[in-house]
Amino acid sequence: MPERSAQYPELELRIEPAHEEAVVHLGLDPQNDAPWPLVFESLQAWEAQQRRDPSELGMRLTYLFTPPRSAASVPDIDVAIPLVND
């Protein structure tokens, strides 16, 4: 893979250790009205209930556009928290 990444010097190759993630699906374009406090409270409650800890990798937001993409398209968004492997 490093030889392939050399073809794209503007991109940084990042390799993460294997991990599990807790994911909250926010749905379509909740950018302005997303219930962010509720999202984080839900994740923290789930982590406590499951006795899981977040890893040092940090939160990830995934934006997915469903084809066909147009000017009117809005992303489908997931919030993921990497977890420490047991």
Residue 9 lies in a domain: no
pLDDT by residue for the chain (86 residues), tens digit each?
Answer: 567 767 878 877 777 777 899 988 887 765 566 678 888 899 899 999 999 999 888 888 888 888 888 888 888 888 899 998 87
**57, 56, 76: which is closest to 66 by C-alpha?**
76
pTM above 0.85? Answer: no
Residue 35 lies in a domain: yes
Residue 52 lies in a domain: yes
Q: Which domain holds residue 78?
A: 18-83
Residue 47 lies in a domain: yes
62 DSSP β-pair partners: 78
Positive or negative torsion for Cα 66, 24, 55, 75: positive
Say what the pLDDT of residue 67 is.
83
Helix (H) or strand (E) run with residue 42 in it: helix 36-50
Residue 3 lies in a domain: no
Helix (H) or strand (E) run with residue 5 in it: helix 2-5
Q: How many structural domains does the chain have?
A: 1
Say what the pLDDT of residue 73 is.
82
Residue 36 lies in a domain: yes
Residue 11 lies in a domain: no
